[in-house]
Chain A
Amino acid sequence: MTSLPGHRTRERLPVPHTSDAYDPDAKLLTSAHLDRRAPWLAPGEPVPPYHLLQAAVTTGRTAAEVRDRFAELGHQVPSAEELAALPADAMKLVSCNLDGVSPWMRPHFAPRMRAHILWAAAQLKRSPAELASEYAALGLPVRDPGRFPASVDEDDLILVSDRLSGEWPWYEETDPATMRGRILRTAERLEVPPAEVAARYAGLGYRTPALGSAPERVRRRELRLASDRVDGSAPWLADDAPVPLRQILLIVDRTEDDTKDLERTTAAAVLACRDLTALGYRIEPGVAGLITEDLLLVSQEMNGVPPWLDEAAPVPVDHVLRFAEKHGRNPNALVIRLTRLGYREVPTGSLADRVDAAELSLAATTRMDRPDDLTQRWLRQDDPHWLSHVLKVAVRTGRPPAEVMARLRALGFRIPGAALPATVSAEDVRLVSRSLDGDAPWLDPTAPVSVAHVLRAAHTTGASVREVLARLEELGLTRLPAVPDRAVTEEDLQLVSVDGRARTSGRWLGSTVPYGRVLYAAATTGRGVQEIADRYRELGHTDLALPETPLPESVSEDDLSLFRLGSHTWAPDWPGLDEEIPLPHILLRASAEGVAPAEIGRRLRTLGFRGLPAPLPDTPFPGDPVLISGAQRPTAPWLAPHTTVSTDHVWAAARASGVSPYDVANRLLALGFGLPFTLRPEDRLIVGPDADGGAPRSRYAGLGPVLLAAKTLGRTPTEIATRRAELGCAWQDLPETAGPDDEDILVLSENLDSRAPWLERNSTPSLLHVLRAARATGRTPQETAGRLTRLGHDVTLPGPVGPEDIPLLEAVGRIRQVTEVEHVLTVASRTGRSPAEVAASLSALGFDVRAAAYPARRPAPGRPRRP
């Protein structure tokens, strides 16, 4: 068993209010669900009357007694007068089944509260309006308490039940905008006009919509139209906004056999619009008047079939221009048409009135190696990469960049007014591409150009640094680094690459040189950190921060793993001076090296890094990465730093790492995480199986560990069980009789050694266990059975039994009921008895032994193995 080095218990994060960790009564009362665990009632908030009543029933006290106890615990409580003013049958009202016992009504039942109150009113033959007031007075959430009827019929319960069955589960009031669909569904099921259903819902207090010209009878088709998935069931369409064209087209797709016939599709869509309007849904005018050409316009491939343009996404300007060119339409008119069809993000500004193929081709983005392929992608209306596009088109068409820009502007593209050279070449296109290959990704004309790009361009093209800088400036790139004119060397390129591989690297430094990259260069070149920093500055890098503390004289290859981030060594990320080194990285390093996280932190600090997570424990624990992983293995997803982890996470991490939940909780505190409970040193003994800090096998242990911890800590079993419940163990019912004593603990242990493994809670111990326990305690089997029964186990002895039966039962092993001939023979072989003796004894012990002519001879002793 691995245990963790101790850490000081911290109480840094919000913890639950409890007056005493061992006050079971307080724990029970102040747990919001009366289950002795989080969430807890906030001490500063008034105790809701419903909770007070539920707590009274749960603890067998009067409401006044519970009120006084809450007051003692520092909670705000209702006055005696307020308590007296509660409804006479309040105890019933706070229970889900109106029977005054658990399950209890809770605030999160709010969406179903109206239906519940109507049902309760019918059951109690009370006025719903009156009951609604009483529920509100009890502190339970009641929406629109003024909108309850004075009476309710049993028939109304059908309307308020989710499945229209008149029984639980009740209908949830969620989005009032979907009530229309619910009404139609009810009308269809009950075969009554929807207007009548709406009136009945309104009479029950639900907010109902006007139904317009809805039909007298609702059929399957209407239900499908009103349902979000066009399947006639919830979720229903909201009626507080127009039904989008996308939904209309979905209806057509799901209700029509042939959607390739555009005329039929259009007619079906128009019909769906008309029917939806009749049901009271709103339709955009443009959608209601859909024409066949609209289907072509809103289909991504302009062919009238899905996929459709997404109404929630911007409509690309090229889509409009291409459609205009293909069908000879005015692009501006198409934009207006799209707006009327419900598309809100359409191209803005003035577009060309007509488009021809030659003009349109100027907007097509081609690859350098496939200049004739115009189908790749299209320039966007506000494309940040307009420069590369203009250069490529100019090269492709042989036109001056200024002319290309002007013609693109005429089409409707917003191209900045930059002055470009009159003639450009493919070389220029390569110069503005980040990979220097004439293809995306591109330099951003508004962003700084990196030193790496300038050096690589010079190295790749054979031009001087000065020439590269001059040409970039002519091409409109004004934020250029001050790179001295120099002959670019392989070592220069290594320095400005992210991974130090000049020839094969695909990643290059930007304007900033992270401090980690400086150290990496120092480690791999064997030079000093200052010397490396000077080299970067010589190359033109100005954004390079060094620590104010003395620089490390040298950096070893071993140090690299301390600050090399990224999931692979071949794709490193280097942290900046003040960038926080992620906690998982530090813990993985510490785990791999077998050192404390604080040691990793110290070494990083010595190297100059300032962004270290806190706190970092001073003791090593290789399982740290498992503890902070949501997957309980040393990989992502990681817990967010400084968050409060759940009890379930603590137990899952404990199970995965083979240590006690106490140790996990303590370690998480030491790592800066919060817990839903306040950890106390004695919890180490309480949560374990043997009151010694060991790791429990499960959180569902029986009574044994409770009694053992109670004895060890001098607490009552109730106190221990309460504390265990708060720490995440399953609640353990306790025997009502006096005790426990050492014999209780002994007989609850499977191996009769007062240690784990323990009998499982409420289990039926084997007869063998009872007999062994009797032998171990010197009691009779009957006394032992009685003791185990008192401790919550189900024990029935078959008849006269005694210790002499133990060998036989040991031989029986797991055979429980039916005893076949093979079993009798096996037991005979194991016990040295004759099969006839075994069959007789097993029958006497209650086994159902198959009848046979069992031999009366006994087996001879086995012989030893030959040497």
Chain B
Amino acid sequence: MIDHVQHLNGLPALTFPQFTHSARLPAAGAAAWRIELEDRDGDEASDVYWERFLTAMPAEDVRALIIGYPWYTEHGLGSMTEEITEASSRLVNLEALFLGDIVSEQSELSWMEQSDVAPVLEAYPRLRELAVRGSSGLAFPAVRHEALRTLRFECGGLPAEVVRGVLDSDLPALEHLELWLGDEYYGCDTTLEDLAPLLDGTRFPALRHLGLQNSTFQDDIAAAVAHAPVVARLESLSLSLGTLGDTGAEALLNGQPLTHLRSLDLHHHFLSDAMMLRIWEALEPAGVRVDLSGREDADEDEDDDGGRYVAAAE
């Protein structure tokens, strides 16, 4: 389900090579640089590798950075917040940051170690995009950041504390918000009540895309979204990756009109064929691109949630 980041801030991801490498590297600003070591004997020391990145590249030209293994893993180096924060005087034009580009072969999502990301936002006032993968140890106290346009949390269980911190933050430029809520078993204690300030449209005046995804109560979210004031000013909406079934989809069809949207992302869902056809017929002829791919079958051996499951949990 979760792959390595391929693009960030419109730039292709490229791993900064260990040691000295023969490959000619593109310009510092032409790629989203993945900082990642392998898990082999003879790997370059992590601090040496990081310092070499900062000196080998014109650090002031780096626009996007992706931090991967062994940072953010349980038995690895943990968070890299401190190093990134310290490098802010060198990475003066950093626009996008992805913290924790880890895939399951390296660490399960729920085993990843995150940290308080507020210092990063404070250190990089020009940052336009921040993505965070993993939620163990994650903190997001309320902040003010005038430049941030995209904020994404990819995790298997998003704590309500983080959601409240985001919604209490002052992010006047925020256009794109994705929250992967996840499973209670993996740390999600967020409720619909926690999301109320978001749904009532009082937060984030520039918001155009909202993703409330990967949730075990995706039907309830759909029902709430069907009447949420925030939807009227969105261009796109994602209710993907979760346990959405016919009940939630029915609520969407019976709620406020969605035909003003450019796209509705429902991929990874549990809809019946008949419901998919109804959704398509209601929205596509009106010009809304609906992603209905990734239909899942409920696991009949599981009682929880009727055997439905989110796309990313453990």
Contacts and interface: CB of A to CB of B under 8 A. Distances in A.
The interface size bin for chain B is 20 to 34
B192 to A, nearest CB: 28
A850 B281 contact: no
B287 A829 contact: no
A709 to B, nearest CB: 24
B77 to A, nearest CB: 21
B24 A2 contact: yes
B231 to A, nearest CB: 15
A2, A820, A860: which has the most chain B beta carbons within 10 Å? A860
B19 interface: yes
A860 B284 contact: yes
Given A633-B42, A825-B280, A829-B284, A622 B21 contact: yes
Contact of B20 (A622, A860, A865): A622
B277 interface: yes
Nearest to A1: B24
Contact of B22 (A659, A822, A826, A858): A659
Nearest to A853: B277
Nearest to A826: B293
Contact of A854 (B19, B277, B292): B277
B289 A862 contact: yes
Contacts of B173: none
Contacts of A623: 21-22
Contact of A591 (B20, B262, B277, B281): B20
A622 B56 CA distance: 14
A396 B262 CA distance: 93
A422 interface: no
Contacts of A631: 42
Say whether chain A's binding surface is mostly helix, strand, loop, or mixed.
loop
B292 A863 contact: no
Contacts of A860: 284-287
B10 to A, nearest CB: 14
A260 to B, nearest CB: 41
A853 B280 CA distance: 12
Contacts of A821: 273, 276-277, 295
B167 to A, nearest CB: 24
A591 B18 CA distance: 13
A828 B208 contact: no
B23 interface: yes
Contacts of A823: 293
B224 interface: no
Contacts of A635: 19, 42
A535 interface: no
Contact of B287 (A634, A657, A658, A863): A863
A694 interface: no
A828 B280 CA distance: 10
Contacts of A852: 273, 277
Contact of A858 (B19, B285, B295): B285
A826 B42 contact: no
Nearest to B261: A863
Nearest to B287: A860
A658, A822, A823, A826: which has the most chain B beta carbons within 10 Å? A822
B262 A863 contact: yes
B287 A855 contact: no
B42 to A, nearest CB: 4
B276 A859 contact: no
Contacts of A680: none
A622 B23 CA distance: 9
Nearest to B286: A860
A215 to B, nearest CB: 53
Contacts of B290: 825, 829
A621 interface: yes
Nearest to B18: A633
A500 B18 CA distance: 31
Given A821-B276, A865-B262, A829 B21 contact: no
26 contacts: A2-B23, A621-B22, A622-B20, A626-B22, A633-B19, A634-B20, A635-B19, A657-B21, A658-B21, A821-B277, A822-B276, A825-B276, A825-B290, A826-B293, A828-B284, A829-B284, A835-B280, A853-B277, A854-B277, A855-B280, A858-B285, A859-B287, A860-B284, A860-B287, A861-B287, A865-B262
Given A2-B24, A828-B280, 10 more contacts: A622-B22, A625-B19, A633-B18, A822-B294, A826-B292, A835-B280, A859-B284, A859-B285, A862-B287, A865-B262
Interface of A: 2, 591-592, 621-623, 625-626, 631, 633-635, 657-659, 820-823, 825-826, 828-829, 835, 850, 852-855, 857-863, 865-866
